[in-house]
Copies of this chain bind each other. A is one copy, B any other.
Amino acid sequence: MKLTANKIAGLLRQHGYKLTPQRWAVLNVISHRHDHLTPAAIYDRVSQEHPGIGLVTIYRTLEVLAELGLLCKVHVEGGCRSYLMRRPSVHHHHLICSGCGRVVDFTDCALNELEQRLSRETGFEMKDHLLELYGHCQNCQKIA
């Protein structure tokens, strides 16, 4: 189920945003694709059709569209980093307190079944996964 141009237009206006050619150009680039693009990559593609549009506008447009819930953000390897001494030597994941950064490790991620099912359904060969749980630790619950 695809969002029509009208729906998008309405959404923008509803929130007091204007419908500019620049925003259409960005939407045009991302709306027909099934892959994820960085701001710079979007800029490159937008530039091909509309050489006048600046990278700043791409950033601003993406922010607006994301705010309206029209976009998903994807985390990419190497994009962000914060470090932690590795404690379990085996495969594990982190439960992270958004308040203080405290981390609890857990080893039972139970994604095998999901991976297998999706592999069967999509033909993807599964390699890896990123899983992080966020919450507030007992300490930070008191504070907040």
Q: How many copies does the complex hold?
A: 2
Residues of chain B with a CB closer than 8 A to A131's CB: 129-132
Query: Does A143 sit at the interface, judged by CB under 8 A?
Result: no
Q: 0/1 per residue, A91-103, Cβ < 8 Å to B?
A: 0001111101111
- Smallest Cβ distance from A86 to chain B, in angstroms? 5
A83-B123 contact, Cβ under 8 Å, with A118-B106, A133-B118: no
Nearest chain B residue, comparing its CB with the CB of A83: B71
Q: Which residues of A contact B (CB under 8 A)?
A: 1, 3, 30-31, 33-39, 42, 62, 65-66, 69-76, 78-87, 89, 94-98, 100-104, 106, 108-111, 113-115, 118-119, 122-138, 141
